[in-house]
Amino acid sequence: MGSRGPQRGAMHRLPVVGRRSSPLQPAEVHKPPPAPKDLGPTGRKAWRVVLASMPLSIPTLDGLTVRRFCDVLEERDEVMAAWKEHGPLLSEPIVTPRGDIAGERLVANPAAAMLRGLDKELDALSDRLALTPAARARLGLTMTSAERQAAEVDRLLGAKWKDEDE
């Protein structure tokens, strides 16, 4: 009858959980497709940066989400410009029931609420695109301190051996 499990006296390796044979490397930077023509300067810059540095990006699949991210950044720039122009408080007329202006009062600039909403949307899109450390950690795209140290040692040793060979 066949036996199950390891045979007596045989050496067996446990599965390696920690360091892999080659340590994780930072995400490869690749050239993104050209930005859509109708994006402004902020959107074009975000397009290039996000698609070039986003881990595991596939422009054909992620393009729509990246485009939305760029559009929201552009919109945020416009709202921020209006908020800076008018300030956090606006003067609003006080109108009587007969339609006469009785005075003025200060009210909060509605642009502040718009900025908070746009920031929430940017946070959600950043999370979907794995642009934040927490989002990358959820996907397992981070390096532990031991992996980071091993990668640094490998880099230093690689540089040392390269120098001696030349």
In terms of Cα–Cα distance, which of 70, 62, 80, 63 is closest to 39? Answer: 70
Digit-coded pLDDT (tens) for 78-94: 999 999 999 999 999 99
- pTM score > 0.95 for this model? no
Q: For a pLDDT cut of 70, what percent of the chain falls above it?
A: 71
Q: Between 72 and 33, where is the model more confident?
A: 72
Mean pLDDT value across residues 31-56:
86
For residues 105 and 94, the answer to whether their CB atoms sit within 8 Å is: yes
Whether the predicted pLDDT of 161 surpasses 60: yes
Kind and range of the H or E run holding 142: none
Whether the predicted pLDDT of 55 surpasses 90: no
Q: Helix, strand, or coil here: 37?
A: coil
Digit-coded pLDDT (tens) for 129-158: 888 888 877 777 766 667 667 777 777 777
What does the DSSP assignment read for 56-90? Answer: T--HHHHHHHHHHHHHHHHHHHHHHHHHHHH-SEE
pLDDT at residue 8 in the model: 59
Whether the predicted pLDDT of 17 surpasses 80: no
Q: What is the DSSP letter of 91?
A: E
The mean pLDDT of the chain is 79
